[in-house]
Structure 1
Amino acid sequence: MHTIAVLALDQVIPFDLTTPIEVFSRTRLPDGRAGYQIRVCAEREEIDAGAFTLKAPWGLEGLKGADTIIVPGTNTPAAPLPPAVGDALRAAAGDGTRIASICVGTFLLAAAGLLDGLRATTHWVAADTLAAAYPEIEVDADVLYVDNGQILTSAGAAAGLDLCLHMIRRDYGSAVAADAARLSVMPLEREGGQAQFIVHPHPPTPQGSTLEPLLLWLQGNLGRELTLADIADRAGTSTRTLIRHFREQTGTTPLQWLHRARIRQAQHLLETTHHSVERIGAQVGFGSPTAFRDRFKRTTGVSPYSYRRSFS
C-alpha cells in the first residue's frame, strides 16, 4: 500500500486539498484492497482554510516515510514559505519521495527550490507570475500537468485530478486508474491541455493612437484574406514602417494581431452560434476548413469541435 501525505498550509484552497484525499482514498486494487493510505499533515494542529478551520491529524513528521507528498495550492501563493515546511519538503526530496503540487501549489515547490532547472506548470492565470518570480523554471502554461519523474506539477484544481489519476496509473496500471476515473466521473485522459481554457483577450486597440482607425478596419474585415501588403496599402505606408508602428503601439506584428483577432472571434462564434465549423472558418478569414482547424488547434490545444463541446 502506498502512503500519500497531503500537506495543508494556512489559506489552503479546499478543492485542492480534498481532491487527492477523495480520489486516492477511493482507489481499490483488483482484489478489493485499498491502494493508498492517506495522511493529512500540517505544521500546526489547526489550519486556517478560509471558510473553515482544519484539524490535521499529522504534523510535519507525517511527511517522513510517505511514498508521495501532495502540495495543494493556497489563496496566498506568493506568501513566504514557512521555514519548517521548506526544510521538510527538501528533506523528503532528498530521500527520493515523489512530490506533486496542485494548481498554485507549484509556487510552494518553487520556493523550496525543488523546481530549479525543471519544466513545470501552474494555473494559467498565475503562470506569468511564476515565470517572473522564478526564471530558472521552464513554465509551460499550456499543459494540464508535468511529470518530471520525482517532481510533478499540475495546472488548475481540476487538472489536479488529472495528475492524481496519472499517478495511480504509474503506481498500479491503467485498469486500476480507469476504475478510479469512473468513480470520479472523469475521463482517464482529457483531450488537449490548459490552453483551451485560457481567455484570449481581444487584441489591443490603443485608443487615440495613429493605428486606431486601421485596427478598427481590420476588426471589421476579419473575413477577408488580407496580406501584409493589403494592410500596408490601407494604412498608406510601407510594410516596413507598418511593422515598426505595430510593434511600437501593440507589441506585435500586423499579421500576428490579425491572427489573434480571428481566433478570438472564432471562439466567440463557437460558443454562441450553431454555425458549422466550416462556415465559422470562412467568416473569420481562413482560406480553407483545414487551415482553420490546424491554426485553431495550435492556438488552443483542441479542435474547434472539442472547443464547442466544452464551451458552447
Structure 2
Amino acid sequence: MDIAVIAYEGINPFMLSTPLAVFGGAGLSNDHRVFVCAEANRISTSAGITLETPHLLDAAEEADVVILPGWRDASEAVPPAIVEQLRSANARDAVAVGLCLGAFGLAETGLLDGRRATTHWAAAEAFRDRFPAVQIDPTAIFIDSGPVLTSAGVASGLDCCLHLLARLSGVAEANHVARGLVLAPQRGGEQPQLIERPSPASTAEARVADILERLWADPTGHPSLDVLAAEAGMSRRSLSRHIRSRTGGSLGGWLRRARIARAQDSLLRGGKGLEGIAVNCGFPDVQSLRKAFRTELGMTPTQWLARQRVG
C-alpha cells in the first residue's frame, strides 16, 4: 500500500509528522510504503526548519492514499498542482485525505460537494462561505465519507489517520499504533471537537463532561435526564442546557452518535449479524440501528461498510 503525504512551503512540522507517525512508525506488521512529496525538493516549514523531500509531486500519481496534512492559510487557495493530485486520487479509486485545513484543498477539487466534511473549528465559517455545496460540520473530529476523509484541527488528524489505518490494516493494528503513540484508540469521528477542553470553566462543566465521556465509552445503557441531572447535581433543564452547549444537540443525539461509532468499530472488526451488533451497541433492535445510520450518515450500515474498502 503506497501512501503519499503532500508537503508544501510553510508546512507545520506537526501536521506533516501526523500521518508519518501513524503509517510509517516502527512496529507496523503491514507493509505500507509512506513517502513525502512536494512541488520542490527543498521546502521551508513554519518553524523555520528546512526539509529535503526526495519525491516531487508527481510521485503521488500511483499512490493508494494521498494525504494533504493541513494548509498554511485558510484564506489562500491551495496550488492547482496539489488540488489535481487529490482529484486524481479519487479518479483512480484511491483515498484522498484532508487533515485540518487540508480540507480546503479537498473542497477545491469538488469531491466534497454534497458530502459532510469537517475542518478546524476556527476556520469552519470561512469554509462554509467559500464552499456552500459542502455540508460542513465543525463539531466532528473527523468524517469518513469513504473515498474522501477530512479531520478537524491539529491533533485530531491523528484520530483520522488511526481510523484510516484500521480500514487498511484492521483495528488491532490501529490500536497497536495508538498504544505506541500513547493515544486512546477509541475516539470515533462523530465525537465532537468541543468536548475536548484543557480545563473546564466550572465544576459543573467538568461533571457534565465526565458524564458525556462515560456515555461515549459505553453507550449501551439508557440513562434518563433525571438520573444524570441528579448525578451532576443540577436540574434537568440545566443539564440539558450544558449538554446542548457542549455537544450541539440533545442527550438522545449524543447517545445515538456514540452507538453508531461503536457499531462502526464492530463492523470494521468484522462483526457479523446486524441484530447482535445492534444490541451490543445499545440499540433496541436492528431497525433502530439502520434508522440511526440513515439519520446520521445517509446510508445503511452495509452501505457504510462497503464504502470503507480502498481501491
- Class of the TM-score when normalised by the shorter of the 2 chains: 0.5 to 0.7
Deviation at 1:101, TM superposition (A): 1.2
Q: 2:4 is matched with which residue?
A: 5
1:124 and 2:121 equivalent?
A: yes
Q: Which residue of 2 is the match for residue 194 of structure 1? A: 193
Q: How many Å separate the matches in 2 of 1:157 and 1:273?
A: 23
In structure 2, how many angstroms separate the alpha carbons of the residues matched to 1:198 and 1:26? 28
Aligned match of 2:201: 268
Separation in structure 2 between the aligned mates of residue 182 and residue 107 of structure 1, nearest angstrom: 31
Seen in structure 2, the aligned counterparts of structure 1 residues 47 and 297 have a Cα distance that, compared at 3 Å, is: same
Larger Rg belongs to: 1
Per the alignment, residue 21 of structure 2 pairs with 22
Choose from 76, 93, 96 the match for 2:73.
76
Distance 1:274 1:151 in 2: 36
Q: 2:246 is matched with which residue?
A: 300
Cα drift, residue 294 of structure 1: 4.0
Deviations 1:19-60 (A, max 9, x none): 11011112645xxx4432111010111122122122111111
The C-alpha deviation readout for 1:71-92, integer Å capped at 9, x for no partner, is 0112223212222222222222
Q: Secondary structure at the match of 2:10?
A: coil
Could you say if the C-alpha distance between residues 10 and 173 of structure 1 is closer, same or farther in structure 2, counting changes exceeding 3 Å? same
TM-score (normalizing by structure 2): 0.65
If the length of structure 1 is used for normalisation, what is the TM-score? 0.65
Equivalent position SS for 1:64:
helix
Tell me by how many angstroms 1:196 deviates: 2.0
- Spell out, residue by residue over 1:179-225, the C-alpha distance to the aligned partner (whole angstroms, 9 max, x if none): 011001001123732122489xxxxxxxxxxxxxxxxxxxxxxxxxx
Report deviation, 1:109.
1.1
The 5-angstrom pairing of residues 1-312 of structure 1 reads 2-26=1-25, 28=27, 33-51=29-47, 52-190=49-187, 192-197=191-196, 268-270=201-203, 287-288=235-236, 291-301=237-247
Say what the alpha-carbon RMSD is for the aligned residues: 3.2
- Cα contact 2:65–2:89 (8 A) shared by 1: no
Residue in structure 2 matched with residue 246 of structure 1 by the alignment: none
List alignment gaps of at least 5 residues for structure 1: 200-266, 304-312
Please give the alpha-carbon distance, in whole angstroms, between the structure 1 residues aligned to 2:97 and 2:74: 15
Q: Confirm or deny: 8 A CA contact 1:117 1:136 kept in the other structure.
A: yes
The answer as to whether partners of 2:120 and 2:152 remain within 8 angstroms in 1 is yes
Q: Give the Cα separation in 1 of the matches to 2:95 and 2:178.
A: 21
Go from structure 1 to structure 2 and tell me whether the alpha carbon gap of 1:10 and 1:285 turns closer, same or farther (over 3 Å shift). same
Aligned to 2:35, what secondary structure does the other structure show?
strand
Measure, in 2, the Cα distance between the counterparts of 1:101 and 1:125: 16
In 2: Cα distance, 1:48 partner to 1:10 partner = 5
* Equivalent position amino acid for 1:11 in 2: G
User: 1:113: how far off?
Assistant: 2.1
Note closer, same or farther for the CA distance 1:274–1:194 as it changes in structure 2 (3 Å cut).
Answer: closer
**Structure-2 separation of matches of 1:142 and 1:20:** 22
